[in-house]
Chains A and B, each alone.
Chain A
Amino acid sequence: MKLIYQITSRLSVVLLVLLAVWGVLFYVAMLDEVNDEIDETLEEYAAQLIARSLAGVEMPTEPDGTNNTYRIRPVSKNYARENKGISHWDMMISVPGSYEEEPARGLTTIYKDDEGQYYELMVITPSIEKQDLMQAILSWSICLYVGLLLTIILVHVWIYYGSMKPLHNLLRWFDDYTVGSRKEPLKNDTKVVEFSKLNEAVLRSTERSEQLFEQQKQFIGNASHELQTPLAICQNRLEMLLDTDLSEEQMGEILKTTQTLKQISRLNQSLLFLSKIDNRQFPENSLVNFNALIKTQLPDYSEAYAYKNIILDLAEPGNLVINMNESLALALVVNLLKNAYVHTQAAGRIEIKIQDFGLTIANNGDEPLDKRIFERFFQGTKQKGSTGLGLAIVDAICKMYGMEITYSFENRMHEFFLKK
C-alpha cells in the first residue's frame, strides 16, 4: 500500500467522523436557535395579548393573518400555583383548509387580573419542519464533506509529491543499485534535514556493503589460491606412498583419499575460477562462434557418457556469435553441457538449439528444479562428481557480459535458455 493511499484513506475517515459530529452539533445549535427565536416571538405575542386583555381592549379575532392562535381560560388558584411558569412545547396542528398537519410551537403562561382571578394563556404559532432542517443540514454536510475531502486530498497529494520528491529519487536510485556493480552517483539535493540524513545513511550503507563484498571476494580468491599448493602436495605425497610396500587394504584407502582430494582440488579450482570471473580477470575479448564451440565439445561428452545411451538432438537454425573471452565461453558451454549430461537419466534425451539470439539446452527430467540452482553450492539432488558450482559459474559469466540465463520446466524437460 502506498503511503499516499494510506494517508488519504485515514484522512477521509477522520473527516467523516469530524463532519458527522459537526453536522449533529450544527443541527442541534440551529434548532436551538430557531426555537429560541420562535419562543421569543411567542412570549412577545403573549405579553401583547395579556396587556390587551388586562387593559380591557378588544382582543384580536382569529385568523389575524399571522397564523398564530391563542386561547385564554380562567383557572383556579391551585391550578395556577401548580402550573406556574412558562412552558414551551412542539406539536402538530391541522391547518385550516388542508388535510395535512403542520408542526407548531406553543406556549402557556399564567397571569392574574385585578380581582385576583388567574388565567391561562395558550399561544400557538406554526414552526418550521425540523425534518426539513435536518435533511438540509445533512445534505449540506455531505456536500461539505465531499468538497472538503476533495480539496484536502488534492492539496495533500500536491504537497506530498512536492515534498517527497527526494525520497522517491532516493528510492529510484536504490532500486537500480546492486552490490558490486558500478553505480552512478546519487544526485539528490535537498534542504530537508531528514532527507539529507537519509541520503547520507543510504550512501554510507552502500559503501559498507561494497567494502564487505570486495573483502569477501578477495578472501575467497586468496583462500582458494592458498589452498592449491598444499592440496597438490598432499596428492603427490599420497601417490608416493602408493609406491611403497603396502597391504591391499591400505592401498584401497589411499586411493579413495586421493579421489576425495582430487574432488577438493576441482572444487577449489572452480572457486578460484569463479572469484576470477567476479574480479573481472578475463579482459581479452574476441568473437566466439558458439556453433563451432559446441560441436568441438560434444563428441567428448557423448563418448564419456556413452553408457547412459542418451539421445542427442542438435538443431542449428542460426549462428550464435558473442563477443566475449574465449575461455569463459568455453567454461559456459562446458558447464551447461556437463550439467545436462550429468543430470539426464539413462536413455534420456538432450536437445540443443542454437539460434542467432541465444542458446537452448534442454534435458529430460521429472520435476521442476528449485529457483536457487544458480546459487553456489545449491544442489537439488546430490550427484557424484558434481561440485555445485557449475551453474553458479554460468550465472557469473552471463552477468559479467550482461547476458541472461533462465531456467524453465516444460513438457518434462529442464530447459536452460541463454539470451545473448
Chain B
Amino acid sequence: MKKAILVTLVTVTLFSCKAFADEDKMVQFEALPAQVKEFVNTHFKGVGVAYAKEERETFVVTGYEVMFTTGEKVEFDRTCAWEEVDCKYSAVPASVIPAQIKDFVAQKHPDAKIVKIERDRWDYEVELNIGLELKFDLQFNLIGYDS
C-alpha cells in the first residue's frame, strides 16, 4: 500500500511538473540561437523586435517565435528553420519566399501580395492578400487552392 501511495505521489508530481514545463518562455532577442538571429537579421533588417518567445513542451524546446514591432511574426521549429512567416498587414519579404513560388504567384496573380507563408514536413502554404490560399508540395508543384 505504501508503495502504491508513493507511485501515485511521484506520478502526480511528474504530471504537475509537465504542466509547468509546458509554459512558453519570453527571452531576449540576443538569447535566441544564432541561426534564428541570422534569419531575422537577413530578412528583417532594421526592424524592432516586440518580443521573442521560446516554446517548450515537457522540458524540451519545440520552437521559437519572434514578433516585430511592425506586427510581423516569424515562427521557427526546434532546428531553428523557419516554419511560418506571418505579415498579415504588410507583405512577406521576397527574400524568404522560394523562387518557384514567387514566380508562380507573380505569374498567376500579378496584383496579389503574399502575406503569409507556412511550411511543414509535407507542403508549403501561401496566403495572398486577396483571400486566396495556395498549397504547394515540397517540389513546389501546386497541389490546390483554398479560399
- Assess A113 versus B26: contact at CB under 8 Å? Given A28-B15, A29-B15, A54-B69: no
Q: A84-B26, A85-B26 are in contact. Are A111 and B51 (CB under 8 A)?
A: yes
A17-B4, A28-B15, A88-B23 known; A109 vs B71 contact (CB < 8 Å): no
The answer to the question of A204 belonging to the interface, with a C-beta cut-off of 8 Å to chain B, is no
Whether a CB of chain A sits under 8 angstroms from the CB of B42 is: no
A403 close to chain B: CB less than 8 A: no
Contact residue among A36, A112, A113, A116 (Cβ-Cβ distance under 8 Å from B22):
A36
Interface residues of A in 1-42 (CB under 8 A from B): 17, 21, 24-25, 28-29, 32, 35-36, 39
The interface on chain B, measured as residues whose beta carbon lies within 8 A of the other chain's beta carbons, has a size of 31
Residue of B nearest to A28 (CB): B15
Given contacts A86-B53, A112-B69, A113-B69, A43 and B15 within 8 Å (CB-CB): no
Interface string of B34-52 (1 = CB under 8 A from A): 0000000000000010110
Chain A contacts of B79 at CB under 8 A? none
Count of CB-CB pairs between chains A and B under 8 Å: 86
Instruction: Name the one of B12, B15, B65, B70 contacting A54, with C-beta atoms under 8 angstroms.
Output: B70
The answer to whether B89 touches A55, judged by C-beta atoms less than 8 angstroms apart, is yes
What secondary structure prevails in chain A residues at the interface with B?
A: helix
B4 touches A21 (CB 8 A): yes
Judge whether B109 is part of the interface by a CB distance below 8 angstroms. Answer: no
Chain B contacts of A32 at CB under 8 A?
Answer: 15, 18-19, 22
Query: Which among B19, B24, B53, B69 has the highest number of chain A CB atoms within 10 Å?
Result: B69
Does B67 count as interface, using CB distance less than 8 angstroms? yes
B83 located at the interface, meaning its Cβ lies under 8 Å from any Cβ of chain A in the complex: no
Residue pair B11, A25 in contact (C-beta under 8 Å): yes
A47 to B68, CA, bound (A): 11
B50 touches which of A39, A56, A112 (Cβ 8 Å)? A112
Interface size on A, residues (CB 8 A): 31
Q: Is A130 an interface residue (CB 8 A)?
A: no
Shortest Cβ gap from B45 to chain A (Å): 15
Q: What's the Cα separation between A86 and B51 when bound, in Å? A: 11
Contacting pair B25 A28 (CB below 8 A): no
The residues of B that contact A86 with a CB separation of less than 8 Å are: 23-26, 53
By the criterion CB–CB under 8 Å, are B51 and A109 in contact?
A: yes
Question: Chain A residues near B53 (CB, 8 Å)?
Answer: 86
The verdict on B100 contacting chain A, using a C-beta distance below 8 Å, is no
Smallest CB separation, B90 vs chain A (Å): 7
Chain A 73-102, CB-CB to B under 8 Å as 1, else 0, gives 000000000001110100000000000000
Contacts of A164 in B (CB 8 A): none
The reply on A57 being an interface residue by CB < 8 A is yes
Residues of B61-104 contacting chain A, CB below 8 A: 65, 67-73, 86, 88-90
Give the distance in Å from the alpha carbon of A55 to the alpha carbon of B68 in the complex: 10
Q: Distance (Å) between the CB of B5 and the closest chain A CB?
A: 9
Q: How far is the CA of A17 from the CA of B7 in the complex (A)?
A: 12
Instruction: Knowing A29-B15, A84-B26, A111-B50, say if A53 contacts B71 (CB, 8 Å).
Output: yes
Residues of B within 8 A of A (CB): 1, 4, 7-8, 11-12, 15-16, 18-19, 22-26, 48, 50-51, 53, 65, 67-73, 86, 88-90
- Not counting A28-B16, A54-B50, A109-B26, a sample of 9 additional A-B residue pairs whose C-beta atoms are within 8 angstroms of each other reads A21-B11, A28-B19, A47-B65, A51-B86, A51-B88, A56-B71, A56-B89, A110-B51, A112-B69
Q: Can you pick out 11 interface pairs between chain A and chain B where the beta carbons lie within 8 Å of each other?
A: A24-B8, A28-B12, A43-B24, A51-B89, A53-B71, A55-B72, A55-B89, A86-B53, A112-B48, A112-B69, A113-B48
